[in-house]
């Protein structure tokens, strides 16, 4: 406890002097109070009953959450109207958003993923368990290849959905498939730990098994394999031209071993990140490609300018990717 301070002031002291003494005494008392543990506080506590009354009760908050979770693309305005219609509670749109955020829900852009069946999940789990202990040396022997399509007009995908933070790729939170417009090109490429193949623009029709051998495997994959090593492995997805019988019959004599890959698993292929980087760079080019010839030149240039260190980071992240598949029980991870 602070001791009382007594001071006697003469009547002949000026008023300014008295004011200075009183100010000094007040400052001294405040400093002593700060040093006294009995006067220190850890923070502020809201008193019961103070402040504005909450406009909704727990039942109303639960109703808003269920309304959103049952229909993920419902807007806050629709949830507001539903609450007033069913519960008879009138609140603002901002209040609805605040109540949903309190429960961990916020409006986010829809993820684009492939729908996985039980068979797909089992196949993905088998691959993940088989390669979960692979190190950078094992992954460095693989040539990851894939085709990708680039179009002149990029879709922004501003459609939003209500979801929690860790539920981006849940099947109720993404839209499958994407449409292309204003003309597009198909390209093929491959990446390895130390280098990448040339980017091939697939012109003049769809990719067939014969064309895959003539235009891709023979001129690009077979010459590139010795650069990786004698134990190199080709990874291509389960597209029909890739798994055709004549393709397997061609790969055996040239001693190109291919990796069995689960269907509908682009999120396991690191080259998808490279396609995404190329697409983002082409999208921000100024001026934008005016035709398909300009688009092809732009895609090839951006492919060549990607730093190889970025691709190496993707290879180093493959063990974590396998663990993520196991944690997701074979579900989508990106």
Over residues 150-154, mean pLDDT: 78
Q: Are 331 and 236 in contact (CB under 8 A)?
A: no
Please report the pLDDT score of residue 113 as a whole number. Answer: 83
Average pLDDT over residues 3-32: 65
Question: What are 247-267's pLDDT values in tens digits?
Answer: 999 999 999 999 999 999 999
Q: Given this model, what pLDDT does residue 8 score?
A: 52
Share of the chain above pLDDT 70, in %: 84
Q: Cβ(292)–Cβ(150) under 8 Å?
A: no
Burial of 219 (0-12, 13-18, 19+ CB in 10 A): middle
- H helices of the chain, in order, are 15-35, 58-70, 76-86, 93-102, 118-131, 136-139, 209-211, 222-228, 240-243, 245-251, 271-283, 292-305, 308-316, 318-327
Band of pLDDT at residue 111, cut at 50, 70 and 90 = confident
Residue with tokens 């060549």: 304
Give tens-digit pLDDT for 180-204. Answer: 446 889 999 999 999 999 999 998 8
Crossing angle between the packed helical segments 118-131 and 318-327, to the nearest 10 degrees:
140
The predicted structure's pLDDT at residue 189: 97
Compute the distance between CA of residue 122 and CA of residue 65 in angstroms, rounded to an integer.
Answer: 32
Distance CA(21)–CA(311), nearest Å, equals 73
CA–CA distances in Å: residue 329 to residues 126, 150, 151, 181, 322 = 10, 32, 34, 35, 11
pLDDT of residue 35: 53
Query: How long, in residues, is the chain?
Result: 334
Lowest mean pLDDT among 103-107, 157-161, 165-169, 209-213: 157-161
pLDDT digits (tens, 9 = 90+) for 45-100: 656 666 788 899 999 999 999 999 999 989 999 999 999 999 999 999 999 999 99
Residue 177 has pLDDT above 70, yes or no: no
Report, in this order, helix, strand and coil percent for the chain, each rounded to 5: 50, 10, 40
Residue with tokens 């007594």: 6
Work out the percent of the chain whose per-residue pLDDT is above 90. 65
Q: How does the average pLDDT of the chain come out, rounded?
A: 86
Question: What average pLDDT does range 114-143 have in this prediction?
Answer: 94
């Amino acid at each position: 406890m602070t001791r009382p301070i007594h001071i006697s002031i003469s009547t002949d002291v000026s008023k300014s002097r008295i004011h200075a003494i009183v100010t000094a005494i007040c400052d001294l008392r405040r400093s002593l109070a700060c040093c006294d543990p009995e006067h220190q506080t850890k923070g502020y506590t809201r008193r019961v009953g103070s402040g504005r009354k909450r406009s909704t009760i727990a039942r109303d908050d639960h109703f808003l959450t269920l309304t959103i979770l049952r229909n993920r693309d419902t807007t806050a305005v629709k949830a507001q109207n539903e609450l007033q219609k069913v519960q008879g509670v009138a609140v603002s749109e901002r209040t609805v958003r605040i109540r949903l955020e309190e429960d961990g829900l916020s409006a986010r852009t829809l993820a684009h993923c492939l729908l996985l069946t039980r068979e797909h999940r089992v196949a993905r789990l088998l691959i993940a368990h088989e390669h979960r202990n692979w190190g950078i040396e094992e992954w460095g022997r693989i040539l990851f290849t894939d085709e990708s399509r680039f179009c002149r007009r990029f879709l922004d995908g501003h459609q939003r959905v209500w979801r929690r933070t860790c539920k981006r790729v849940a099947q109720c939170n993404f839209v499958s498939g994407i449409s292309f417009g204003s003309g597009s090109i198909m390209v093929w490429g491959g990446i390895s730990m130390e280098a990448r193949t040339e980017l091939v623009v697939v012109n003049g029709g769809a990719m067939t098994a014969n064309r895959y051998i003539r235009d891709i495997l023979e001129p690009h994959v077979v010459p590139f394999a010795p650069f990786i090593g004698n134990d190199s492995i080709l990874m291509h997805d389960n597209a029909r031209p890739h798994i055709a019988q004549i393709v397997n019959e061609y790969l055996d004599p040239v001693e190109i071993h291919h990796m069995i890959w689960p269907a509908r698993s682009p999120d396991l292929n690191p080259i998808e990140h490279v396609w995404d980087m190329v697409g983002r760079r082409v999208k921000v080019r100024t001026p934008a490609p005016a035709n398909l010839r300009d688009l092809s030149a732009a895609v090839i240039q951006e492919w060549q300018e990607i730093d190889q260190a970025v691709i190496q980071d993707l290879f180093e992240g493959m063990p974590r990717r396998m663990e993520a598949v196991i944690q997701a029980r074979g579900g989508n991870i990106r």
